[in-house]
Structure 1
Amino acid sequence: MARSGPRRSGARRTASRPQRRASGPEDLISVLARAVRAVEVAVEHGRVTPAVRTRFQAVAVLVREEHARVQGEQTGAQGRRANQLKRLDGIATILAKTAVRDSKLLALLSEDAAVSDAVTSSMHVMLKSAGIEPAVVQEAVPTEPAEVPAGSERRVVPQSVATRQLTTSFLAPDFSAARPDSVGPRRLAGWELLKPLFTSFERADSGAPACMALPAPAAVRGLGDQELMPHQARLVAAAAAGHRTFLLADEPGLGKTAQALLAAQAANAYPLLVVVPSVVKINWVREVGLWTPNRSVTAVYGDGETVDGYADIVVVNYEVLDRHVGWFGTFGFRGMVVDEAHFIKNMNSQRSRHVLELSKRIRSGPARPLLMALTGTPLINDIDDFRAIWRFLGWIDETEPLADLMASLESVGLTPADPGFSSAARQCVIDLGIVRRRKVDVVADIPARRTADVPVELDEKLARSISAAERDLARRMVDQYETALANRRTGIVDGIDHELVRKVAASEQKDTSSTTGENVFGMMRRIGQAKAGLAADYTAQLARSAGKVVFFARHVDVLDVAEEVFAKQGMRFSSIRGGQTPLSRQRNIDAFVNDSEVVIAVCSLTAAGVGLNLQVASNVVLAELSWTDAEQTQAIDRSHRIGQTEPVTAWRIIAARTIDSRIAELIDSKAGLAARALDGSDEDVWSSADVQHEALVALLTDALSTRHAT
C-alpha cells in the first residue's frame, strides 16, 4: 500500500515513496479506534496532558489520511470500502466531540495545524502496530504564505460550527446534479438581453400576469397548530413539486414567512440559511417553532458564540453577515432565504455582495438548492431594483441571463427586435418563480383598510416660521430659474418654461445640505416636530375610545415628544425603534400585544415598518409622511394582515396649508412602482425621489404663476 507520511511544521514534507504493509494483529482503523477511546477517557477525567494532545493529533492526521486513501481505492469490494469509511467517520465524530471540551484540542483538528516530532513519532507507532511501514521524510521547499482575502480579518468560525464541520469533513459533497450557470452559444448569443428584460416589466401591459402558475393547494405535513391559507399552500405545493427559485412578492400581511419555512420543509432544503433585518430575527426564530416545530433553529449574534452548529435553520441578520460569510460558504446549506430582499438592491453595498457571494456558493454545491427572496416591495426606486434579486436567485449574472432563463428565452423563438418579445420575455422571468398576490385577490375575509387624513393647525408661531421657510425655498428656486432664463440665448418660450422648472427643481433636490436656506428635507423634519404633540394627543384620544393604537413617526425627536405626551397623560406604551437590543425590542412588542394595559405602540417608520405583527390594533397613526406609498403601506400592514378581525384605519396627521398637504396628495396620486411592474396597473411608475422632485416642481410653478399674475 502506498502512504504519505505526515506534514511537518517548519521544513519537512513526505517523500512520494511506496510503503510495505506488513502483517499485524490489528488493522489501522482498529488501532485508531483504540487510541481515540483512550484520549476520550482522559479528556473526560480532565487529564489533558501534552502526551494526550500528541496522541489526539496523531489520530486526527491518520484518520484524515486513511479516509482519503480508502476513498481513492479503485479496487476492492464497494461494501468493504463503505464499511471502512463509516468506521472512520465514527472516529472523526469522537474526535470532534472530545475537542469541544478543550479549545487546544480543537485547534489541533485543523489541517493547517503544525505537526511536531512527538506527533510524528506517535503516528509511526500506530502505523507499525497495524503493520505499516511509515514513509521517510525529507526537507521541504519553503513556500510563500497564502494571501489573506480582503476583509477576512473580521471573519469568525463559531466553535460549534467548527465541531460540526469536523464531524462531516470526510463526506465528499454531491455535485452530480448541480446545474451550470451558463449555456453554450445559441440563437440569442450576441443580443443584449438584460435591458429588454427589465424594460418588459417597466412597460407591462395593463392586466399582464404577475404570478407564475401554481399547483392546487395540497395537504402540508409537519405543521404545528397553525393552519395554512390556500394561497400559502399553493406555493408550498410548488416547492414540493420541484420548483426551487421564488421571488415571493406577496403584499405585506399575507404570510410570506410561513410560506418560506414550509417550502423549505417540502424541498428538504436543510440546512437552511435565512438572512433577515435585525428587527425581525427573533420573530423568525419564533415562526420556526410555530410552523416547523420538528426543525431546530439557531440565531447568529455577534461572533456567533451561542450558535448551534447542528441546527437545521440558521438565522442571521444583515448587519453581522460579513463576519460569517466564510463558514456560511462551506457549511453545506441546501437552501437560502433572504427576507426583505429589497435591502440588497444596492449592488455596491457590502450586504449585497455577501448575499450574492453566498448564493453563488450554494448554487455551485448540492443539487438544486431552494432560493427564496421575500419582499412585499420588490421595487422602490426604479426597475433596476430587480437586478440584485434576480442575481441572488441565479436567473442572471452581471451581463446576461443564466442557464434556466436563457433556455426559456431561446424556447420563445423571438429576438428583442421581434414584436411580442417583451411580453414573452416577461413571462419567461415570471415562470422562473415570481409569485405576487394581493390581499384583495386572495384573502377576501380580511377586513377593509382605509386611509383618513386628519388636518391639524400648527402653533401660530411655528406655522409662520414654516411658511416663511417655504417662501424662502420658492424664492431661491425662482432666482435660479430667472438667472438661467436670463443667460439663455435660444429656446425662449412664452410663459413658464416647464422644462427649465424641472431642471431647477432637480438641482435643489440634490442640495440636501444647502447653506443658503432650508431645503425640503429639513422643512419636512421641522413640520414633523411641529405636529408631534398634536399627533400624540390624537393618538391618546383614539386609544381611550377605540383601544390599542400604533403610532408611527420617522424622526427620533418626534418619537420622544410623543412618548412624553403619553407619559404625562398616564397612557402606557411600548417603544419599538432602532438601537434597541433584540430582546428589549421583543419584550416591548410582546407587552403591546399581550398586556391589555399597554395601549400604544410608539414605532419608528424605519425600524418597525417591516416584519412585525401588530394585528392586535386596528388603528394606525402616521405622525409623519413617508416619501413613498410603499413605505406607508408597509407600516399600515403591520396591523392589516392575516388574523385581523377589524377594519383597519390609518390616520395621517397633515399640517394644513403647508408642503405637507402637497406631498400627501402626490403620494396618493400614484400607486407605487410595483403597480405597473408586478400588478399590471396603468398607473405611472414613481419613486421616492420622484415625489420629492414633483413637490419642488409644484412649489416653483406656483411661485412663478403668482409672479406672472402680478
Structure 2
Amino acid sequence: MALPPKLLQATFLPDRTDPSRGRMAWWGGDDTAELARRRGLPEGEPGWIALALPDGPARTLARLVPLLQAVPALAALATGKQVSDSALVWRAAALGALGEDSALDGLAPLMPPAAHAVTLDGDTVWSAAELLAAFRHAVHGTYASPSKIPDALLAARERMAERVPVEAVPRPYQRHGIAWLGAVAEHRTGAILADDMGLGKTLQTIALLAGRSTTRPHLVVCPTSVVGNWAREIARFAPGLRIVRHHGPGRASEATAFAPGAVVITSYSLLLRDLALLSDVDWEVLVLDEAQQIKNHTGQTAKAARAVPARARIALTGTPVENRLAELWSIMDFANPGLLGPHKRFAKRFAEPIELRRDPGATARLRELIAPYLLRRLKSEVATDLPAKLESTVACTLTREQAKLYRKTVKGALDVGLGDGFERHGRVLALLTALKQICNHPAQFLGETEGPLTGRSGKLDRVTEMLGEIVDSGDRALVFTQYRKMGELLAGHLSAELDLPRVPFLHGGVSGTGREAMVDAFQDGSAPPILLVSLKAGGTGLNLTAANHVVHYDRWWNPAVEDQATDRAHRIGQTRRVDVHKLVTGGTLEERVAELLERKRSLADAIVGTGEEWITRLDDAGLRALVELSEVEVGE
C-alpha cells in the first residue's frame, strides 16, 4: 500500500468487547499528531493498531480519538488537495451516520484500502461494509443522549435527517451542497456553486428550488442549448414543480404568467430581449446556469443579470475563472453585489498582485473573503467512484495537398504583410482560420461541396480509422468540431465509410425540439454510435454519458472550453472510463499551440486568452515561428 508520506490517513477502530464503542485512528506521515492539528482534527492519544500492509500485517503507531471528539471534527473537516481519500470518506461517514439509516449505504464502494486497512484479529481485514456498519452502531451508541451532541453537529444531524425534496438519492457531497444552498437562500444572499463539471450542480439546484416554500416564482437563465435539459431534469427530479418555458414566439408577455412557486426557464438571449418584463418580477431565487456567460462585467448580458431582482442569486459554473480574476469578480458581483468592492479596487487589491506577482498574501485574503459564498468540489475529491478520464494527443500527418496549401497560405500572408492595429488583428485571425481549416481538410478550406474526401487529409483518415475501431467494439463517441462546414463533411463521410445511417450533427441551427430528440436517441442507443457536436452549441449543459470516447477533431485553444465539452461524457452517470482523443497535425501551428497549452493551464501561468486572441498580439517573428510548417514527414 503506497501512501503519500505527507497525507494523514484515517480509519475506524471498533471495540470488539463493546460494539457501541470504538475510536477513530489517525495514521501515516512523519508526525501524525502534527498532521492532525494542521487539519483541525483532535490530536488524540498515541497507540498501536494492526494494519494490513503489502508485506503482511504490521503494528503501526497511530493517534486514537474517541468518537465524541472525532465525529464533529471529521464533519467539519475542510476538503482540499492535502486531505487523503481515506479522511474524505470518513468525513462523509461522520455526516451520514448521524442522518438517515441509508446514508452510509453508498460509501463502501468509495472506500480506498487505507480507510479500512485495520485488521479484525491480526490477520483478517475488515471489509468496507463491515467497518461502516460497526461505525454506524458505535456512533448511535455514543450519541444516544442528545445532550452529548455539540449544537452545530445536532443542527447538521437534523438537516441530514430531513428528506431531500427531490426524487433521487443525492451523494453525501450533494447533500452538503443542497444544505449550503438552502442556508444561502435562507439568508437572502447569493453564492457561486462551482463544483467540477459533471458533479450534479443541476440536481442540487433543483433540490433548492423544490424545498423553497414561497409566494414568488423562480427564474433559471441558461444557454439556449440546455433550456430543454433543465425542463427534463426538473420533471424528473421534482415533478411537483410547475415549469414555465419562457422561450419561443409563444412566450409570456405579462408577469401574471409566472405563478408563485413556478420555475421559469429562459435563455441568456431572451434575458436581454425581455429584460423589461423579467426585471419587473419579484423573483424568489434567480439561477444563472453556465454563469461564465457573464464573465465580462462590462457586457450587456452581465448588466442585464444584475438588473433582475431576486431574494437569492445563485451562479452555477464549473469554471469560475477561465483566464482572468476579473471573471470571478463579475460573477460574484452578480451573486453578492459589492462583496468584492468596485472593479478597479478589486483589480488593484487582488487581480494585479495575484496574476502578475503570485502574491500569496493577496491570494489568502481573497480566498478568505469569498469562502462563505463559493463552494467548489472536484471529482478527484468527492466522486472517487467516477471512472477515470484518459487523455491522449493523436498526432496526424499532412497529406501533400495539405502541405502545399499550408505553405502557400503562410507565404502569401507573410509576404504581403499583416499591417498593424485592427487591420493586423483581422488578418492574423483570418490566417489562423485558414490554417486550421487546411489541417482539418482541404475541402473545408476550398469550400468544396462535392468530390472525394478520402486520402486528402491525414486528420480525416486517422479519425475514420479510430471511429471505425470504436464502433466495431460496441462503444459510442462524441466528435467535437468548431466548424459547421467540417461537421457536415464528417457526417456524410463517416456514414458512408463506416456503413452507418446518417451520423447526426448537433449544431446551432438545430431546433430545440430537434436537439432534445438527437440527445435522447444517442443516449438510449437508437441513434448511430457517433454524435457530431458543434463545440459552441453542445460544449456545455448536455448530458451525454452514453459516450465513452470523446474526440476533439479541431482544437479550441482554451483548455477550460475543451474540458467543458469533454465533461458532457465524463460526469455522474458514466460507468466506464472515458477516453479523450485530441487530434493535432504535426509540424503545424496546431502542434505548437497544443504544447503551449499543456504547459500553461493554470491561471498564474496563463498566456492564452479566449480562443486565438493572444496570437494576434505576437510580432511578425513570433507569428512566423508559430505558423510556419516544420520539415516533417508528409503523407501521400
Same fold (TM > 0.5)? yes
Other structure's SS at 2:192 match: strand
What do residues 306-341 of structure 1 show as CA deviations (whole Å, max 9, x unaligned)?
Answer: 695326100010111234323322322111000111
What do residues 346-381 of structure 1 show as CA deviations (whole Å, max 9, x unaligned)?
Answer: 2343322211110xx32xxxxxx2211111122223
Give aligned-pair identity as a percent: 24
1:664 equivalent to 2:594? Answer yes
Q: Residues 582, 703 of structure 1: CA spacing in aligned structure 2 closer, same or farther, 3 A cutoff?
A: closer
**Cα contact 2:550–2:580 (8 A) shared by 1:** yes
1:632 equivalent to 2:580? Answer no
Aligned partners of 1:574 and 1:420: how far apart in 2? 49
Question: Residue in 1 aligned with 2:241?
Answer: 295
Aligned partners of 2:546 and 2:224: how far apart in 1? 23
1:541 aligned residue (469, 481, 495) = 469
Question: Residue in 2 aligned with 1:370?
Answer: 312
Aligned partners of 1:633 and 1:275: how far apart in 2? 22
Aligned partners of 1:699 and 1:448: how far apart in 2? 37
Question: Residue in 1 aligned with 2:500?
Answer: 571
What do residues 88-111 of structure 1 show as CA deviations (whole Å, max 9, x unaligned)?
Answer: xxxxxxxxxxxxxxxxxxxxxxxx
1:354 aligned residue (304, 322, 333) = 304
1:687 equivalent to 2:609? Answer yes
What do residues 14-61 of structure 1 show as CA deviations (whole Å, max 9, x unaligned)?
Answer: xxxxxxxxxxxxxxxxxxxxxxxxxxxxxxxxxxxxxxxxxxxxxxxx
- Offset of residue 608 of structure 1: 0.3
1:522 aligned residue (412, 434, 449) = 434
Question: Residue in 2 aligned with 1:427?
Answer: 367
**Cα contact 1:381–1:687 (8 A) shared by 2:** yes
Other structure's SS at 2:314 match: strand
Question: Residue in 1 aligned with 2:193?
Answer: 248
Query: What is the 5 A alignment of 1:177-196?
Result: none
Gap runs ≥5 in structure 2:
1-79, 84-94, 96-155, 350-358, 443-456, 631-636
Other structure's SS at 1:316 match: strand
**Cα contact 1:554–1:605 (8 A) shared by 2:** yes
Aligned partners of 2:372 and 2:574: how far apart in 1? 32
Other structure's SS at 2:504 match: strand
**Cα contact 2:589–2:627 (8 A) shared by 1:** no
Counting strand residues as a fraction of each chain, which structure ranks higher? 2
Question: Residue in 1 aligned with 2:424?
Answer: 511
**Cα contact 2:191–2:373 (8 A) shared by 1:** yes
Q: Residues 700, 235 of structure 1: CA spacing in aligned structure 2 closer, same or farther, 3 A cutoff?
A: same
Other structure's SS at 1:513 match: helix
Question: Residue in 1 aligned with 2:336?
Answer: 394
Aligned partners of 1:265 and 1:590: how far apart in 2? 25
**Cα contact 2:195–2:201 (8 A) shared by 1:** yes
Q: Match of 1:565, as an amino acid?
A: H
1:454 aligned residue (394, 418, 421) = 394
Question: Residue in 1 aligned with 2:450?
Answer: none
**Cα contact 1:220–1:233 (8 A) shared by 2:** no
1:284 aligned residue (220, 230, 241) = 230
Q: Residues 278, 641 of structure 1: CA spacing in aligned structure 2 closer, same or farther, 3 A cutoff?
A: same
- Offset of residue 252 of structure 1: 0.9
Query: What is the 5 A alignment of 1:377-388?
Result: 377-388=319-330
Question: Residue in 1 aligned with 2:203?
Answer: 258
Question: Residue in 2 aligned with 1:580?
Answer: 510
Greater C-alpha Rg: 1
Question: Residue in 2 aligned with 1:173?
Answer: none
Q: Of the two structures, which has the highest relative contact order with CA contacts closer than 8 Å and spacing of 6 or more?
A: 1
Per the normalisation by structure 2, the TM-score is: 0.62
1:642 equivalent to 2:566? Answer no
Aligned partners of 2:539 and 2:618: how far apart in 1? 25
- Offset of residue 263 of structure 1: 2.3
Other structure's SS at 2:160 match: coil
1:309 aligned residue (258, 265, 278) = 258
- Offset of residue 430 of structure 1: 2.0
**Cα contact 1:627–1:691 (8 A) shared by 2:** no
**Cα contact 2:480–2:552 (8 A) shared by 1:** yes
Aligned partners of 1:619 and 1:697: how far apart in 2? 39
RMSD (CA atoms): 3.5
2:524 aligned residue (594, 597, 604) = 594
Could you tell which deviates more after superposition, 236-245 or 311-320?
A: 236-245
Q: Residues 328, 543 of structure 1: CA spacing in aligned structure 2 closer, same or farther, 3 A cutoff?
A: same
Aligned partners of 2:539 and 2:578: how far apart in 1? 16
Question: Residue in 2 aligned with 1:443?
Answer: 383
Aligned partners of 1:398 and 1:427: how far apart in 2? 11
Q: Residues 698, 457 of structure 1: CA spacing in aligned structure 2 closer, same or farther, 3 A cutoff?
A: same
**Cα contact 2:245–2:251 (8 A) shared by 1:** no
Q: Match of 1:353, as an amino acid?
A: K
Q: Match of 2:609, as an amino acid?
A: S
Question: Residue in 1 aligned with 2:18?
Answer: none
Aligned partners of 1:703 and 1:345: how far apart in 2? 30
Aligned partners of 1:231 and 1:703: how far apart in 2? 46
